Structure 1
């Protein structure tokens, strides 16, 4: 059977850390406007691509910054050991799932987010498209899964 994976690649700001995704299509992306994501990104929101953790092949110096979340999960942030760009995170409440920082994708200019969450915290100057689902806080899990994985 032929290999149906695409050459989807990305990396950190300085180029020391690179990755390739073993996936059949560009992963689904959503935007989070919560205050934590605003602080982590230093911007108005974060763009996150949902991928299987085992689909990410990393090269370069990686640091695992881990901490306990308010919900009781252990969060693992994978960052470049040189420039400290966040590449992806995972946590113990979602085993095997990674949230890749979509802005680190080489083709980040082709991303079209499928949903926006925590819009009650969005910056007032951010205008969301009417056709994209948005949620005041977290989306209901079943609905979010249906949106991200149609």
Structure 2
């Protein structure tokens, strides 16, 4: 079974994920744009029993556009978000794909909040589900 390790920029906070993610998605919501500092965010999710977070982290929570709460776990030293959970997907933890620093990471299969997508962004693939 594959182990993947995601880290913050300074390396003190690490997420170890075992096996394949159960979901890889792109989110175009404004909160994800702000969190990632980009036009969209890409995240992968693992069942909590195949996820382990080590190191020191801080938490910050917010209520999302869907009305559910999300709790973000980030490094207190460099500020990188390494994991988060939300009410909409209980029992799984999301990890920003960029934290893996792996250009061969599996591609996303879901693209959500596309009504907020920057018009120059195109998420392509015959097997990608698109939702507003």
Q: Which category of TM-score, normalised to the shorter sequence, fits these structures?
A: 0.7 to 0.9
Aligned length: 132
- Specify which structure has the higher proportion of helix: 1
TM-score normalised by length of structure 2: 0.84
Partner of 1:94: 89
- 1:18 and 2:18 are equivalent in the alignment: no
Checking the alignment, whether the CA contact within 8 Å between 1:52 and 1:98 is kept in structure 2 is yes
Checking the alignment, whether the CA contact within 8 Å between 1:9 and 1:106 is kept in structure 2 is no
Deviation, structure 1 residue 54: 3.0
Checking the alignment, whether the CA contact within 8 Å between 2:109 and 2:129 is kept in structure 1 is no
CA distance in structure 2 between the partners assigned to 1:27 and 1:95 by the alignment = 13
- 1:127 and 2:114 are equivalent in the alignment: no
Structure 2 residue runs of 5 or longer lacking an equivalent are: none
Q: Which of these two proteins has the greater Rg computed from alpha carbons?
A: 1
Structure 1 residue runs of 5 or longer lacking an equivalent are: 138-150
Give the alignment's Cα RMSD to 1 decimal.
2.1
Off by >4 Å, runs of 4+ in structure 1:
none
